Structure 1
Amino acid sequence: RGLPAVVLLRGVAAGAFIAAESFVPLMLVTQRGLSPTLAGLSLALGGSTWAFGSWVQARPAWSAYRRTFMTFGMVLVAGAIATAPGVLLPGTPVWIVAVAWGFGCFGMGIVTSGTSTLLLELSAPEEAGTNSAALQMSDGLSNVLLLALGGAAFAAAGGGAVGAGHDLSAAGAG
């Protein structure tokens, strides 16, 4: 409970979401045949809903419900991460991932801003800087760690073979 839980929540949310988000455009391009531009639009939509989620949680009228909002935000994040691989099924419309990602980014806007605000509310004034640094370290470290683990799992599953059909020596390298 308290500050350690806030710092851990931020790390788990950021790491899981950013790691998953890194593979969404790759999945759409390599598995569903979308152009990089169309695949990137799913992330563009997410940027606007992330900002909207941050704005919503910052409204003074909602401050009494910050913890409930953060729970709701985490449910949206988990739902988006769980929904994204479903687009690999042939009968699933490709736009499902963009919609799911929009909701997930809305949840991230709530969670990211909410954890920052909650951390400052729980911190003594003289500890606010140190605690904010811990929050940012948790965010960054979990991003790197979970993205590296996801990349390793992707490569181990044969994902690195996307362009394996190209032989550099036969292509006239030199």
Structure 2
Amino acid sequence: MDRYEPLRHRTIALVGLMGVGKSSVGRRLANALELPFRDADSEVEAAAGRAITEIFSELGEAAFRDGERRVIQRLLDEPPHVLATGGGAFMNDETRALLTSKALVVWLRADLELLARRVGRKDTRPLLKDSDPLTVLKAQAEQRYPVYAQAHVVVDTGDTAHHVTVAQVIDALTQYLSEEGA
């Protein structure tokens, strides 16, 4: 049995603020563990037949969150994979309960100024429309960090290569599973 085998029995869900690397780290984590990768935002767009920015502007955030919860519920019924969630997905009580019961939840956490630099490079994030990224991220951190703390493990990331974060996630999950089985 290889050392990654215990990590292949449950879906691994990544949560955290926008820009922390849930999708990019998630793809590399899935590759390292030889698991499929799913991106909840992409899956929501495919199910809705429109971009997230359109869903937000035409239907509102509540409709988006409802669709996101349904999509995540469907994904959690699939065989184990690595799932990158949207930054607000874990804030929904029902979605959070699904994730914590059916997946290993990893909170990727990073310095807010680093995240602001990352997300400030693109204008594809509906929650940043006409706003200062650092101001939005600070408000989100204040609201979301106590909820994200319900994840099974927390991995603090920095401005390092993705493979470093992948190794940190694997180590944290391996440690968690060894303690859980003890």
Normalised by the length of structure 2, the TM-score is: 0.33
The structure with the largest alpha-carbon Rg is 1
**More strand as a share of residues:** 2
- Which one has more relative contact order, counting CA pairs under 8 Å at least 6 apart? 1
**More helix as a share of residues:** 1
